[in-house]
């Protein structure tokens, strides 16, 4: 049972344009959401997060939007740069499980930004 | 500050063998989690250790086990390897910002 789904395996965008990565979840107990970025041969690195009490969080070129009623979140990257090319994982956690290091991840979306 | 270190980087084993993977967390981090990454499945939680105690375990068979030492270093063991165990095994440590995991580069295990 995939509780966190990233339905787009890949996304290709032009440098300077907006990249929008989407994520859907089914578990209504999730109250904290994160995005991780992974380059080949490296471990995932934390990018940005959002609590369920908010609907938007910004950090530089990265913005995460949360729509709780639709159980949907998205990551916007503006402007996209070639160095952003990586696999992006959406992750979610339940308050109790978060304390014990458990995140539930999506399958990942491969973002390719063309110069 | 050194990051999370995992050894070895690559491993090739045959079915039925067992394997031990090692993880050294970021200095000062006492929580270590293990994840399995396979194509199309994302990262799946294996277990988490804190102060040498397993506090949480994912939905994996008993062939997957782990331990943590007093210096917070952790090992993961997989016994009676199966072809389906071929995956990237990632270790992550966590400090006071408990929602953020810091991952190592992983151990790529191939079971032939």
Q: What is the mean pLDDT of chain B?
A: 93
Name every chain A residue with its beta carbon within 8 A of the beta carbon of B107. Answer: none
Q: Which of A64, A40, A33 is nearest to B37 (CA)?
A: A40
Distance CA A86, CA B103 (A): 16
CB contact under 8 A, A43 and B56: no
Q: What is the DSSP-derived secondary structure letter of residue B26?
A: P
Asked if residues B49 and B55 have their Cβ atoms less than 8 Å apart, the reply is yes
How crowded is the C-beta side of B34, counted as CA atoms within 13 Å?
31
Q: Do B90 and A104 touch (CB under 8 A)?
A: no
Q: Is B38:B106 a contact under the CB 8 Å cutoff?
A: no
Label the pairing between strands A109-114 and A86-93. antiparallel
Can you give the pLDDT of all 115 residues of chain A as single tens digits?
689 999 999 999 999 999 999 999 999 999 999 999 999 888 999 999 999 999 999 999 999 999 999 999 999 999 999 999 999 999 999 877 666 678 999 999 999 999 9
Look up residue A94 and give its two tokens: 């339940």
Q: Does A101 touch chain B (CB under 8 A)?
A: yes
Question: What is the predicted pLDDT for the residue at A97?
Answer: 65
Q: Is B76 on the interface with A (CB under 8 A)?
A: no
Contact B78, B48 (CB under 8 A): no
Please tell me which of the candidates A36, A42, A102 has its beta carbon nearest to residue B56.
A102
pLDDT in tens, B25-83: 999 999 999 999 988 778 999 999 999 999 889 999 999 999 999 999 999 999 999 99
Question: Nearest CA to A56 among A69, A74, A71?
Answer: A74
Q: Does A106 touch chain B (CB under 8 A)?
A: yes
Tokens of residue A86, six digits: 């990586």
Instruction: Look at residues B57, B38, B54 and name the one whose alpha carbon lies nearest to residue B46.
Output: B57
User: What number of C-beta contacts closer than 8 Å exist between A and B?
Assistant: 67
Report how far Cα B27 is from the mean position of its chain's Cα atoms: 17
- State the virtual CA torsion across B30, B36, B42, B48 in degrees, nearest 10: -30
Note whether B99 contacts A: Cβ–Cβ < 8 A. Answer: yes
Query: What pLDDT, in 10s, does the model give residues B58-68?
Result: 999 999 999 99
- CB within 8 Å: B33 and A102: yes
Work out the burial of residue B9: count CB atoms within 10 Å of its CB; fewer than 13 is exposed, 13-18 middle, 19 or more buried. Answer: exposed
**Which ranges constitute the DSSP H helices of A57-108?**
95-98
């Amino acid at each position: 049972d995939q509780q966190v789904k990233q339905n787009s395996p890949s996304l290709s965008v032009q440098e300077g344009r907006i990249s929008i990565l989407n994520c859907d979840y089914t578990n209504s107990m999730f109250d904290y959401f994160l995005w991780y970025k992974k380059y080949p041969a490296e471990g995932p690195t934390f990018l940005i997060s959002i609590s369920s009490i908010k609907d938007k969080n910004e950090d530089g070129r990265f913005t995460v939007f949360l729509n709780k009623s639709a159980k949907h979140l998205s990551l916007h990257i503006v402007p996209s740069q070639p160095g952003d090319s990586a696999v992006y994982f959406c992750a979610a956690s339940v308050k109790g499980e978060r304390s014990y290091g458990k995140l539930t991840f999506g399958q990942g979306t491969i973002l390719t930004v063309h110069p | 500050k050194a990051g999370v270190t995992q050894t070895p980087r690559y491993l090739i084993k045959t079915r039925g063998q067992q394997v031990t993977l090692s993880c050294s967390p970021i200095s000062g981090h006492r929580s270590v989690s293990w994840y399995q990454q396979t194509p199309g499945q994302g990262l799946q939680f294996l277990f988490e250790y804190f102060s040498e105690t397993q506090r949480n375990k994912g939905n994996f068979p008993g062939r997957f086990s782990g331990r943590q030492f007093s210096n917070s270093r952790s090992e993961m063991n997989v016994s009676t390897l199966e072809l389906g165990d071929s995956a990237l095994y990632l270790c992550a440590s966590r400090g006071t910002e408990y929602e953020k995991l810091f991952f190592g580069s992983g151990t790529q295990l191939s079971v032939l």
